[in-house]
Copies of this chain bind each other. A is one copy, B any other.
Amino acid sequence: MKNKTYAKIENKDKLELLITELPNIDDNEVSIKVINCGICHSDISAIDNAWNLSKYPLVAGHEIIGEVVQIGKNVKNHKVGDIVGLGWHSGYCHDCEYCKNDDFNFCVKTKKTIYSQTGGFAEFVNADSTAVIPIPKGMDLDKIGPLLCGGITVFTPIIEFNIKKNDKVGVIGIGGLGHLAIKFLKAVGCDVTAFSSSPEKKNEILSMGANEVIQSNNDETLKKYNDRFDFIISTVNHKLNWNQYLGCLKPRGRLHMVGATLDTLDVSVFNLMKGRKSISGSPVGSPKNIIKMLEFVNKHNTYPDVEIFSFDSINEAISKLRKNEIRFRAVVKW
């Protein structure tokens, strides 16, 4: 069996189609034949080596939907023919206190789908069976991929911080993650304000369920929203005036970061102390919460808005994503 793979070769601009052997699987692994794969900003960060973690040739892609084609002899939770998903993590140590508490997301030795192995811009991908997520029957497969990383990244804080009906919530940055945050929060019953730097997206954002759309980088406008929100989730990976966003929170409010960046947060201690406010961040989510999210999306019909490309057009899809032209998540499909 051969594996058609789109890989970034060092010093080349574009991803190139490679044909490689399919790696063997170990006893706890599953081989997935990729049906489609979302393209996440983190893939571009990996392709560009923005986080100094990349080794080339690099096969990105970590929002994978596919069919199980092979299972290791210890695998009990999946069988050949199952439709499954795979996200940022492709394996866990099963030995640390977090794995033992079904809290795999904090495993001290997670395997990463695009850094520890070859990822989903390929015909086949392998993963530890625990990291492989069963997809409920009847769901729209073309639209699920982006949930496996982008979706769970915004779903996890919503459930972990117990965001509830009628909470006033702000979402900063309305791209792949932000548009899902709006849909999820609306389904929870929150009063949702979108903070966007792209006024041309306004009508689309309102149609997703936001109650209003605010210019995210206008200090004068933001001042009107002081003491307003219970929770603000930021999906951007660049600096904004975080002290001003802290001011937009009510007492006990939380500003939560899911946009991965090496930037520092220059917030003032006083601005946290006044009103007992918190700043926090979180990465993706655990398998149990991915399963919970899929049930939620199935029930509330909160799928991402996707643009579908053939795998042959992967470089075009990446180029559009770099130019902020995707509405709102790109998926490549065999």
A interface with B by C-beta (< 8 Å)? 98, 103, 106, 108, 156-157, 160, 227, 251-252, 254, 257-270, 272-283
Complex CA distance for A312 and B213, rounded to whole angstroms? 61
When the two chains form the complex, which single residue of B257, B266, B277 contacts A266, counting CB atoms closer than 8 Å?
B266
A269 touching B263, Cβ below 8 Å? yes
B269 touching A265, Cβ below 8 Å? yes
Residues of B within 8 A of A106 (CB): 251-252, 275-276
Complex CA distance for A258 and B281, rounded to whole angstroms? 21
Closest to A262 in B: B270
Closest to A106 in B: B251
Residues of B within 8 A of A273 (CB): 257-258, 260, 281-283
A264 touching B262, Cβ below 8 Å? no
Residues of B within 8 A of A156 (CB): 276
Residue among A257, A269, A272 with max Cβ neighbours from chain B (10 Å): A269
Complex CA distance for A254 and B106, rounded to whole angstroms? 15
Complex CA distance for A35 and B263, rounded to whole angstroms? 51
A46 nearest CB across to chain B (Å): 15
B251 touching A269, Cβ below 8 Å? no
12 A-B pairs with C-beta separation under 8 A = A106-B275, A106-B276, A258-B273, A261-B269, A262-B270, A264-B267, A264-B268, A265-B267, A272-B280, A273-B281, A274-B283, A279-B280
Residues of B within 8 A of A270 (CB): 260-262, 281
Closest to A264 in B: B266
A260 touching B269, Cβ below 8 Å? yes
Closest to A243 in B: B264
Residues of B within 8 A of A254 (CB): 278
A257 touching B272, Cβ below 8 Å? yes
Complex CA distance for A276 and B256, rounded to whole angstroms? 9
A280 touching B278, Cβ below 8 Å? yes
Complex CA distance for A1 and B271, rounded to whole angstroms? 41
Residues of B within 8 A of A103 (CB): 251
When the two chains form the complex, which single residue of B108, B263, B276, B280 contacts A276, counting CB atoms closer than 8 Å?
B280
Closest to A284 in B: B273
A143 nearest CB across to chain B (Å): 26
